[in-house]
Amino acid sequence: MNVLDRFLKYVSFDTQSDEESPSCPSTGKQKLLGAALVEEMLEMGILDAYMDANGYVYGTVPGDPALPTIGLIAHMDTSPDASGADVKARVVPYSGGDVCLNEEKNLWLREKDYPALANHRGKRLVVTDGTTLLGADDKAGIAEIMTAAEHLIKVKSRHATLKIGFTPDEEIGRGADLFDVKGFGADFAYTADGGTLGEIEYENFNAAGAVVTFHGLNIHPGAAKDKMVNSQYLAMEFQSLLPAAQRPEHTEGYEGFIHLTDMEGEVEKTTLRYILRDHDLDKLQEKKAVMVAAADFLNRKYGDGRVELAISDSYFNMKQCIEPCMHIVDRAKKAMIAAGMEPKEAPIRGGTDGARLSYEGLSCPNLCTGGANYHGRFEYIPVEDMEKCVQMLIGIIQDTN
């Protein structure tokens, strides 16, 4: 099976994760894809393939024991930001201009909105009908790893032992929570969970999440004078105290942000949820301090207990874990060049399972998979870029140096 056929098969599985669910995986439907992957791995000769009780899938392609044992990791879930159910994927030969995704709904993938489309003229694009995400994040990574593994099994060349890991719930920050690093047994690994062809990433945001709860007092509006406390107004005032320049829409590159992700409320109680990001850990601590100061100010102004702030760390910048073993970055760059890519180091304005795993002792940079516009209805991926990514992964595992 080629990488395109695999990808189209995998995106037919609805695997959205759910951050409100306490279980692992957060949605049982992720296990349906996991079971299908185990079955496929067994059929291709990966005899130790299995899925554990938490939905993690593992398998091994044995290689030369004199070479390093290398892991390749991707995640099975798709983002809760857009529907992943009933994905209608199709392949469109792209010669330039705009792509009609859905004639009935007048939905178009337009070059003026997504200028990077122009880089893919002459390629075949996998797109949706504009009503769901595609799921290239990260089913492209899964398809590329599986296709590379099948090649290694069929072509009897000398190569390193390959350890395969597919995780649930990466999109909600839990992909590495129950990953069996010791049992995985890799000397180092790569996540295949990136975008543009040639990108290799080993710097990511330090990340935290914040939940702010505002407590009001509801009184009939006809008798509310000097009594009512509207928690929604408290929430709006809190938001106004945060630096507007640090919203994501005003930042790029190494600049961090404070992002209001969702809100719900009524007079008695309102909740705001934020994510905080910065490549510099000290600057992330400053962002936390700003939120603490805003909450303290409102509690002094309106009375103790009106505002409750809970901040928790999510993951940290893997750079300090990768810098002592830059040979694994060089190995990936060498494989990229051999596959016809131009390697590009880029900081991740986000995070991957690899960030968490690097801090758990498994150094794990992130590699491109070729997709674009992740987490939305205008997601796409060129077939030719997926094929190059397969060659890159094969090259990494076949490198005997």
Superfamily name and number for 3-204+317-398: Zn peptidases (3.40.630.10)
pTM, two decimals, is 0.88
Q: What share of the chain has pLDDT > 90, as a percent?
A: 94
Query: Tell me, what's the pLDDT at 370?
Result: 96
Confidence at residue 173, expressed as pLDDT on a 0 to 100 scale:
86
Q: Which residues are catalytic, by number?
A: 77, 170
Q: Please state the rounded mean pLDDT for residues 168-176.
A: 93
Query: Within 10 A of 234 (CB to CB), how many other CB atoms are there?
Result: 24
Residue 303 predicted with pLDDT over 80: yes
pLDDT in the model for residue 225: 95
**In angstroms, how far is CA 263 from the centroid of its own chain?**
22
Mean pLDDT value across residues 83-94? 96
The Cα 233–Cα 216 span in angstroms is: 9
Look at residue 350 in the predicted model and tell me its pLDDT: 79
Domain regions of the chain by residue span? 3-204+317-398, 206-314
What's the gap between Cα 99 and its chain centre? 26
- What angle do the packed helices 231-240 and 281-302 form, to 10 degrees? 140
Token code pair at residue 383: 């077939």
Percent of the chain with pLDDT over 70: 100
Q: How far is CA 270 from the centre of its chain?
A: 29
Res. 266: pLDDT tops 90: yes
Q: Tokens for 36?
A: 């299908």
Other beta carbons within 10 angstroms of residue 278's beta carbon come to 24
Average pLDDT, the chain: 96
Per residue in 373-388, pLDDT tens? Answer: 999 999 999 999 999 9
Say what the pLDDT of residue 78 is: 97
Per the DSSP assignment, residues forming a β-bridge with 143 are none
CA 138, CA 334: separation in Å to the nearest integer?
23
Tell me which CATH code domain 206-314 carries: 3.30.70.360
Q: What angle, 0 to 180 degrees and rounded to 10, lies between the N-to-C axes of helices 327-338 and 383-398?
A: 130
Would the pLDDT of 139 be above 90? yes
DSSP per residue, 91-129: EEE--SS-EEEETTTTEEE-TTT-GGGGGGTTSEEEE--
Paired strand residues for 273: 211, 262
Q: What pLDDT is attached to residue 345?
A: 92
pLDDT tens digits, 304-355: 999 999 999 988 999 999 999 999 999 999 999 999 999 999 888 877 789 8
Residues 121 and 342: their CA atoms lie apart, in Å, by 18
| Helices vs strands, H then E, count in the chain | 10, 17
Over residues 288-302, mean pLDDT: 98
CB contact set of 183 (below 8 Å; sequence gap of 6+): 58
User: Same CATH topology for 3-204+317-398 and 206-314?
Assistant: no
CB 203 within 8 A of CB 253: no
Structural contact between residues 314 and 172, judged by C-beta atoms closer than 8 angstroms: no
Say if residue 156's pLDDT is above 90. no
Kindly tell me the burial class for residue 127, based on how many C-beta atoms sit within 10 Å of its own C-beta (0-12, 13-18, 19 or more): buried
